[in-house]
Amino acid sequence: MSIGVSQETAFAGAGSSSEIAAVSLLRNGSTYLWDLKAHRELYGDLPDLSGDEIVTMARDAGLTGRGGAGFPTHLKLAAVLAKGGPAVVVANGSESEPASQKDKALMLHRPFLVIEGAWLVARTISASRIYLYTHNYRHIHASLQRALAQLRPPGVSIEIATGPDGYVSGESSAVVSFLNRGVALPTFTRPIDQGVGGLPTAVFNVETLAHLANIARIGSLAFRTLGSSTAPGSRLLTLSGTVFSPGTVVELLHPSPIAEVLMAAGGATDKPVAYLIGGYGGRFTPPMALLGGEPGGSLGCGLVGVIPEGACGLEEACRLFDYLASQSARQCGPCRFGLPALQGKLPAALGVRPIRRAERAVTRLSHEIAGRGGCSHPDAATAMLQSAIATFGEELDLHRNGGCSATRSQPVFKA
């Protein structure tokens, strides 16, 4: 895991590099800020804002969730406020997406921003408890504990909670379920309605919270100078696949072609034939589709993976689908029966000995699964698979004739 040191100037696009650096989330991103004094020297003091001012600030900034769903932050705050009474805040840093590193890098390099953002939310919704939820990452725990030893916001108790590994254990209702009963599985109850201890609970990705703390200092308008009109603000990306340094985290400050982002971080090690955008449950996209700029609000969890020449995109998609199927909660029909059924059809449908009936079954099953699960996991898995079929059409034709273009045996993504 690393943070690209050139992100402050590489994607500037407008304004001087010093102006951009003054409003970016990471700023001197390669520096570890484990000292509160150094943190405040770089970012300044946190303003004293009322709850109404925080909601308005989030609305005017256009801040949306950075965990994958992209839900407007101010609407989530308003929904919890509408419940009235005490509430709970959860800073979700579990980052269960295997190739993603942005949340880990943020908690390691900028732990004070995460704590400050959670405190701003707590002040807004009258919460007296904050949970910092992660998996068992020892170095991350040490960073958060070091930060909490120096910064203990008044009026709230803050606890680091360690959840189990697992792809769905970072889903918001699964997080609440773990904090309530020690079982990290999605439920049909929204945290806003009935969360930790039965109280309305605001679960925010740690990057969202860090942005909130930064916006409180720079203002909503400055935040909107970054990003695009449809996706305001900067965002963190993890670069994966066949890139110079897999796991590098960069801050995207302005709409930029993916090729430019990769070049700023050392480039791809092989010619890309496709990208995986948004994580294992994201979508495959051909390079030509992204020539006009970055994919805006469709970046999901912020993962950009490079599929090189010599790799079979269909094999990669099947490998990822096998992983996603194995990671389901198995609590509802689409996960218990739909994903395994679809998994069983894939070798025949996409393998070197294709059966056209199986191909039709894959399409039919995908449509039957989508939209019927208790959470979005089966939707993401089937959407990823359909994007692979659409992107790697030429490869599919080869497979139909008993061939395959693969010249490398190593998988691009570890699952």
- pLDDT score recorded for residue 359: 60
User: Looking up tokens 């701003």, which residue turns up?
Assistant: 120
* Closest CA relative to residue 376, chosen from 238, 279, 235, 274: 279
- pLDDT score recorded for residue 88: 97
30 and 88 assigned to the same domain: yes
- From residue 92, alpha-carbon distances to 84, 105, 113, 117 in Å are 23, 14, 14, 12
- pLDDT score recorded for residue 119: 97
The pTM for the full model equals: 0.90
**Could you list the residue range(s) of the whole structural domain that residue 54 is in?**
25-224
Last residue of a domain, one of 263, 287, 308: 308
- pLDDT score recorded for residue 260: 79
User: Looking up tokens 């004739």, which residue turns up?
Assistant: 401
- pLDDT score recorded for residue 10: 40
Q: Write the CATH number for 284.
A: 3.10.20.600
What's the CA gap between 380 and 279, in Å, rounded?
Answer: 10
What's the CA gap between 382 and 369, in Å, rounded?
Answer: 8
- pLDDT score recorded for residue 120: 98
Which two tokens mark 257?
Answer: 């072609």
Residue 18 lies in a domain: no
Residues 6+ apart with CB under 8 A from 181: none
Total domain count, the chain: 3
Torsion of CA 166, 129, 101, 216, to 10 degrees: 150
219 and 240 assigned to the same domain: no
Which two tokens mark 173?
Answer: 């209702």
Q: Write the CATH number for 152.
A: 3.40.50.11540
Which run of H or E residues covers position 378?
Answer: helix 377-391
150 and 244 assigned to the same domain: no
86 and 214 assigned to the same domain: yes
Which one-letter amino acid corresponds to residue 35?
D
54 and 187 assigned to the same domain: yes
Q: What pairing do the DSSP bridges indicate for beta strands 303-308 and 127-134?
A: unpaired
**303-308, strands of its sheet edge to edge:** 2-3, 248-252, 235-241, 303-308, 272-277, 283-285
Q: Write the CATH number for 361.
A: 1.20.1440.230
Query: Are the beta carbons of 113 and 125 closer than 8 angstroms?
Result: no
158 and 205 assigned to the same domain: yes
317 and 304 assigned to the same domain: no
SS3 249: strand
SS3 252: strand
Q: 85-113 pLDDT, tens per residue? A: 899 999 999 988 888 999 999 999 999 99
Last residue of a domain, one of 171, 197, 224: 224
Q: Cα 18 from chain centroid?
A: 28
Which two tokens mark 308?
Answer: 């090189």
Q: What is the mean pLDDT of each run of 10 residues along the chain (415 residues)?
A: 48 54 84 92 94 96 87 94 93 90 94 98 96 93 96 94 89 93 88 94 97 97 88 91 87 81 79 90 82 58 90 89 81 72 69 54 67 72 86 84 84 80
Last residue of a domain, one of 251, 281, 308: 308
Q: Residue 407: exposed, middle, or buried by beta-carbon count in 10 A (0-12, 13-18, 19+)? A: exposed
What's the CA gap between 323 and 326, in Å, rounded?
Answer: 5
* Alpha helix positions (H), 12-127: 17-21, 36-43, 51-61, 73-83, 102-109, 111-125
- pLDDT score recorded for residue 1: 57
